[in-house]
Structures are given as C-alpha cells and as structure tokens.
Structure 1
C-alpha cells in the first residue's frame, strides 16, 4: 500500500484563525502531513476540539490553509470556484447528522439528484439516483423516491446522505463522524456499507471520529490527532494493539474491552492560541505526571523540546520523547534501530 502513490496528500498544513480582542491566533491545525491512497480507509481520531473537523473541511476546500498545501491526484488543490466544483465531484463529504444534512422539504429523490443537477449530469437521472440508493442499501430504490426525511429512520436518512455522495461516483469520501448520531444496532450496518463500497468501487475514505472502536472496525490506517497535530499514526492493528503515545493509550483505556483501569486525563486540552512548549500533550500526560518520563531521563525534553511533524506515509510513527527513549533502550538491547514497543519509527525531535 505504501508504494502506491497517494490519491490525496496533505503537506505541512497549518490553519489559523484570528484571535478575538487582540488575543493570539488560534492554531486549529498546526502542521499536518497525511496521505490517503486509492482504496484505503484512514481514520482520523481525537477528542473534540483537536482540529480534525477543521482538517476535514480544509480537504474539501471549505477552509483554505494558512500555509501548506493539499494535493489531489498529483495536482495541488486549486481554490477557484470552477476548480473546486470539479474537485468536489471527485471528493464528497458525508456529515455527522443526516437530519441536518437533508432539506426537510425535499424528497429522497431530489436530495440524491441534487448533486447531479449541480454538476450538469446529462445521462439518465432517474437510473443514476436509483443505482445510488440501491448501492446505499435502500431497496427497492423506487419505494423511497417520494418519501421525505421525517418519514425515514436515522439509519435510512444516513443511507440517503451516502447515496447523495455516491451518485457522483467520487474517488474519495470524507466522512465526519458518520455514525455518531445513530443507534448502536444501525452503526454496524453503516460501517459494513462503507467497507462494502470500498471493496466494490475502490472508494477511498477519510473517517473523522472520536471513537477508536470505530477506527478498529473500519480503517486500514489510523492517525491520532491532538491539539492540531498528528501524534501517532500507522496501521490500525499495530497502533491500537500496541499504542506508544500516552494520549493514544489514554483513549484506548476507556474502551469497554480494554484491560486495566481507564486513564483519566487531568484538565482540558490547552487553548489552541496558547500551545505549550515542548510536547503539546505534556501538561496532561500521565507518563510525565507519575514520574515515568523522569525515570527515562526525558522529563525536561517533554516540557521544552519540540517534536517534528510526522510524515504522511503509511509507516508507524509516534511523536513522543518517552516513546523515543524506550525505542533507543530497546535498540541498545539488540532489537535493532528504530523499533520499539509497538514496532514503529519514532519522530526525531527538532
């Protein structure tokens, strides 16, 4: 997979928003590299406020980057109206709340056909809408044509939203919390649908979520985001079975099937206009708080020494001084350079 050229690539992306009343600008996305390859599902994971939705909106051209660039199919994203219209035919957005995504005055048919009409589709509109609904699992599709959103269940509404994305035959779908508002029984159906669409159509997807359990079930690769930056990334099984960053370990510890006691992080994520020096997680880090980082000799580095941006490739990487120290200890013991608990490559500090 890593040898395949990326379909979408994000390079050193920064997005800042002006501060209010003279406050410093908020660094919502503060240096992100991320690649998504054809047929690959990448989960972008993090708690609320970490910048993952801002990143997703930037990939759609809705939020131009302050610095850095987004590349699609080898070409930099052009932010002119005409270019964005052509781009959004190939990259579609699926939002969290289907009730808010669908116009209550439009029938299912009109909701799905809207994209075709915007892009001037000159084929058989009825057949295209029927095929999209059928692929999304609403069969027979004609039965849903004249129904309104309020007549559908939550799962059916989300399938209509997915059909509205599929009708344009996109190459990539950006799904922002696609099952967060659904019952547990329906969530599995929608996730299975996304996996089937990947297998049948070769569809790529970026799935934005706060739920590591969802990432485990659907993703090929996971990127864990904290305070505007990706702090751990790699193949989903490797990252989630042997997490190396303390933040990833804390997120995993609260899953129902996780062994041991949950890790309770102290305080709230820092203000993105006042990002701490050193490791941006250090003010909440359980490894630093319990003295383990000091025993590894990296406590000062955690507080004061910045870490490089992780690359967007498929390699397993972590931005953590403590994880790096463990890697070096393991390497010195004879495991070979660059491999540590979890089997990945750490980011060197600047």
Structure 2
C-alpha cells in the first residue's frame, strides 16, 4: 500500500529572470515499510522534490498525498503532517543547536507537538537510535559527540515523534566511511523493527544498492528510470543511469557525459537528456531509428507503478519485438 505519494508534481522557482522547473512532472510512491532511493547528480531536483514531500515547498501543480489523503497547507494541517513525515538532514552538526543538550534536542519535537511522557519518549528514541544507555547521553552537547553519534541523535529526534516515513537527505554523506555502514544498518533495523518507510535522497548508487527496495533515477526535474533496485542497478536501461553506474569502482570503464550540466531554466526539447546522451552521440539511437524522436519528442512521464520503467526512446525501441 502506498503511504507517501507524489502525483504529477511540478515545483518552479524564479531564477535570473527566468522560471526554473526544478520538479517538472513527477509521480513517485513510498509504500508501507519500503525504502526508496532517489538518486541523481547535483542539480537534478531531488532535494527540491524531497522538500516538497516534506511540506516545506508548495508545488505549482500536482499533489502530495499521505495515507491516501492530499496534503493541506494550513498551519494546523502541516504541523500534523510533519509529525508523520520526518526529515533526517544531511549535516547533523549544522542541524543540532550547539547550546542544547542531547536531551533538549530530542525533546524539542515532542514539546512542539504536546506529546505526553517526554522523558520516556526521549529515552526510547535514543535507545532505538543505538545510543545506550540513553541517560548517559542526556547531558552531553553536540561537540562532545562523534559524527556518527550526532547523526544518531538527529535520527532519535525524528523517532521521538513516531513518524510513518523518514526522508533522509544524503544521510551518510558527511560521515567517515567506517561509520556509514553503521547508520545504514540502523535505518534497515528501524524498518524491520518499527515498520518505518523511508525516502533516501542520494547521489551514491552504492548506497542505494545496499539499502533500498526500489530506486528512482532523476534527471533535470523528472524520473527517467525506476524499479526494483536489483533490476535497475544490475541492468540499467536509461543511458543516464548507465553513466551514473559507470563511475563505481567495479565498472569496466566510466562514461564521460558531454554537453552542459543540467539547467532547469533551459530544459531542451525532446528527451531532456539528449544533448548529453552517449547513445545518441555514438550513433546507436540513429541505428535504432529513434534519433529524431530523441531530439523532438519528450518521453512520457513515468507512472508510479510496480516493475521497472524507463523514459527513453532508445530503450523502448530496444525492448520492442523485432
């Protein structure tokens, strides 16, 4: 069952006198007890999409739905919604007030929402986040903690509200390699023990492989490929996904993309990836007879449906029976 959902979501910003289409028609779902990885390079729109799903940005059109109900944007409705959908930020040091103890940091959410049993709630959240015994951490300040411990405090702050979904924005990007595995294992354990769902925003396909059930690959405001993580990352269909995977250490040779980095104020016609596409540049699209469509016809917006999906004329032609 779908828990958190985006339907035909569009988010725009004014930028240098033009409109930046940061999210340009996205369908995405996160099911109950499911971990979905949203991947793509910097500037693709994944953080804006995550902020919109958190209720921090209001879409120009389309809807965010939680538990089947559309998100309302009144102050009261947003307050109730943000208890259910909690952010785990990228930088725990920047998100923790250096003047607040661990106890105060974790207790802040329950106080805002007027939840009973504050001390027990804080202790339980810290324990679930792997900080045991929790009382030992109550009086400590952020500068007295390691990077991994600070990230666990941030996660505990989310858990103290008993949310249904965590939105984790690059949750291990600021951590040492030795600690990253511990935090990923924690997220998997929370899913197993609490039934938590999660949307993990990352540029790291290795992280997506290790933690996610499904993956959605985003480029210039749209999902260009999605499906079960084993299928998408073992046999990627979209040239952009193939290029992202090619930089992993076990890949035989990296794909060097040409053209300019994506600019959401200047989205090209046709397939939005075509100015940088190695398949089009290498003549394979012409050999399949789809090069004209690549340059002039936008692929359809991918539906939020089960199974693998790809928004690519060449991939569709390759799958078609002879």
TM-score range, shorter chain: over 0.9
User: What is the rounded CA distance, in whole Å, between the counterparts of 1:278 and 1:262 in structure 2?
Assistant: 26
TM-score normalised over the length of structure 1: 0.91
Range that drifts further, 243-252 or 294-303: 294-303
How far apart, in 2, do the equivalents of 1:316 and 1:56 lie?
22
| Mapped partners of 1:113, 1:267: distance in 2 | 49
Q: Distance in 2 between matches of 1:52 and 1:244?
A: 20
Q: Offset of 1:118 from its aligned partner?
A: 0.3
Q: Deviation at 1:269?
A: 2.2
Q: Which residue does 2:289 correspond to in 1?
A: 297
The Cα of 1:287 is off from its aligned counterpart by 0.5
Match of 1:14 in 2: 10
Residue 277 (structure 2) pairs with residue 285 (structure 1): yes
The aligned residue for residue 91 of structure 1 is 85
Partner of 2:302: 310
Alpha carbons 1:12, 1:32 under 8 Å: kept: yes
- The secondary structure found in structure 1 opposite 2:2 is coil
Compute the displacement of 1:324 (Å): 0.7
Tell me which of 43, 53, 57 is aligned to 1:63: 57
Residue 193 of structure 1: how far off its partner (Å): 0.2
Structure 2: where are the runs of 5+ without partners?
none
From 160, 169, 180, give the equivalent of 2:173.
180
Check if 1:327 corresponds to 2:319.
yes
What is the aligned partner in structure 2 of residue 266 from structure 1? 258
Runs of 4+ aligned residues of structure 1 deviating over 3 Å after TM superposition are: none
Q: How does 1:152-301 map to 2 (within 5 A)?
A: 152-258=145-251, 260-301=252-293
| Native 8 Å contact 2:168 2:201 kept in 1 | yes
Distance 1:60 1:262 in 2: 35
CA contact 1:293–1:322 (8 Å) conserved in 2? yes
Q: Distance in 2 between matches of 1:268 and 1:119?
A: 46
Structure 1 residue aligned with 2:115, among 121, 124, 134?
Answer: 121
User: Counterpart of 1:62 in 2: which secondary structure?
Assistant: coil
Unaligned runs of 5+ in 1: 333-350
Give the number of aligned pairs: 322
Provide the C-alpha distance between the structure 1 equivalents of 2:79 and 2:94, rounded to a whole number of angstroms.
22
- Cα pair 2:5 2:65 within 8 Å, conserved: yes
Is residue 44–residue 262 contact of structure 2 (8 Å, CA) maintained in 1? no
1:29 to 7, 23, 26: 23
Note the alpha carbon deviations across 1:60-96, whole angstroms, 9 max, x for none: 1110000000010011001100000001111100000
TM-score for the superposition, normalised by structure 2 = 0.99
Q: In angstroms, what is the RMSD of aligned CA positions?
A: 0.8
CA distance in 2, matches of 1:184, 1:281: 32
1:127: Cα distance to partner? 1.1
CA contact (8 A) 2:22 2:44 kept: yes
CA distance in 2, matches of 1:147, 1:24: 47
Counterpart position of 1:144: 137
Query: 2:175 is paired with a residue of what secondary structure?
Result: coil
Instruction: Confirm or deny: 8 A CA contact 1:112 1:163 kept in the other structure.
Output: yes
Q: Does 1:110 align with 2:104?
A: yes
- In structure 1, what is the Cα distance between the partners aligned to 2:246 and 2:120? 48
Q: Name the structure 1 match of 2:37.
A: 43
